[in-house]
Structure formats: C-alpha cells, structure tokens
Amino acid sequence: QRIELIKDYLEEFPIIVSSNYQNYKYTIDTLDILSIPYIIIDKNKLHLIKNLLITSHVAPAGNYNEKIISSVSKKIRNSNRSNNTTPTKKFWISRKNASIRNVVNYEDVNIILKKFNYEILYLEEMDTKKQIEVLNQAKVIAGLQGAGLNNILFMQENSNLLEVRDRNDNMNNCYFSLASALNINFYYSYADTIEPGNFHSSDYVIDIDNLEKVFEKIEAKLEA
C-alpha cells in the first residue's frame, strides 16, 4: 500500500531493498510483477543517500485503505494471463509445513473438506506467479488464520473467505478488514488453542461441527 501511495514518484525514487530481503523471494517477485523499480543495497554497508522519500502509513495497523489496496490487487490480478475467468475452485490453505499454528485434529477436518470438495493448497511449494494464477481461480479460500490468507489479494471480487480463528480472540480482525476492502465475502468459524491465550504460536483444535455449519452456509450462497 505504501508503495502504491507514491506510484507517481517511483522513477525518481526507486524502492530501496535491503539485501537480506533477497532471502524472501516473494518480495523481489512482487516488485518485478508490478514493474516497480528498486535498488538492492548491502545491509552490511553504510550508504549515503542524497534525497530519501519516506512514505506515511495509509491506515492503522491491521486495516487498509480501500482505494489503494484495491488498486494493488487489480494490478496483481491483471499480471495473470487467466485473470477475469470465472472462479470455480474451493481451496483449503494448509499449514502442514508451518512451524506454528498447526491443526491438531486435521484428520477430522479433512473429512469435512472432502465432503465439500475442497482442494488442499501448499502455498510454500508455489512461486509467486503460480500463487496468483491459482488463487485467481478460487471462489472460496478457507484456512486457519495465518499469512496464507493474505493471498485473498489475488482473488476476484465477490469471492469468499472463511477464516478459522480462535474462539476467544476478538482483537485480530485483519482478514475481515482486508476482505471488506477487497469486496470479498467474509465468513469465520472457531478453533481453540492448545495453549490458552497464545493466539500466535499455539497449535489449534478446530471446532468440526461449527466448521461444517459454516461450509453449509457458503454452499447455500454459491447455489443461490
């Protein structure tokens, strides 16, 4: 969002990227996909910069500027050859390979996913372009709260997000805010932490009955 805010100044002020961000391939991939000029600088050296433009924040933490984030989403989606095809897929974002927030009762969850014909996505196995291509085809994305849900940025308007979130967490509403800004329908269901109160890194037990009921609501909307 902050780069989009200064889009008219990028030729004069390319983005400065610290060399350690090269370890996060999606960072460079995204800049390239959006044709954003950038300079990589060695994080172990001092640099003298004559003129430095620092952007303001566009919204409070966990929230979004609707106009700006929609523009970013549209640019990313337009980079994909299959953009604007009718979305038909339903995906569950897996955290199987994540170091935190794993699903303890995944075998029970998988039974429900099969019932409603959800495909399992392992986003860490895809490069950025592939993620954009695949998620642009999604009419529903579901999964436990985590960074993978940020990829609704690649979805088309009026698609659907189901966030499985901690039953006792009434503070972290970033995915509701993002879905709202992108005109994506938002649903949620409940899970419980193994370590009470540790929303960030505890493993979770998903409420299977609640998950099934929410999937049924989504199916009813898709069929309407």
Give the pLDDT confidence of 33-49 residue by residue, as tens digits: 999 999 999 999 999 99
Helix (H, G, I), strand (E, B) or coil at 189: strand
Once rounded to an integer, what is the mean pLDDT over residues 124-136?
Answer: 93
According to DSSP, the β-strands at 38-41 and 204-206 are unpaired
Q: Are 178 and 59 in contact (CB under 8 A)?
A: no
Task: Tokens for 197, please give them.
Answer: 């109160």
Residue 95 has pLDDT above 70, yes or no: yes
% of the chain residues with pLDDT over 70: 98
Categorize the per-residue pLDDT at 85 as very low, low, confident or very high, splitting at 50, 70 and 90.
Answer: confident
pLDDT tens digits along 151-188: 999 999 999 999 999 999 888 899 999 999 999 999 99
How many C-beta neighbours within 10 Å does residue 67 have?
A: 11
Angle between helices 66-78 and 174-181 (to 10 degrees): 70
H-assigned helices in the chain:
2-5, 25-33, 66-78, 106-115, 128-135, 174-181, 208-223
CA dist 34 and 119 (Å) reads: 28
Report the helix count and the strand count for the chain, using DSSP H and E: 7, 8
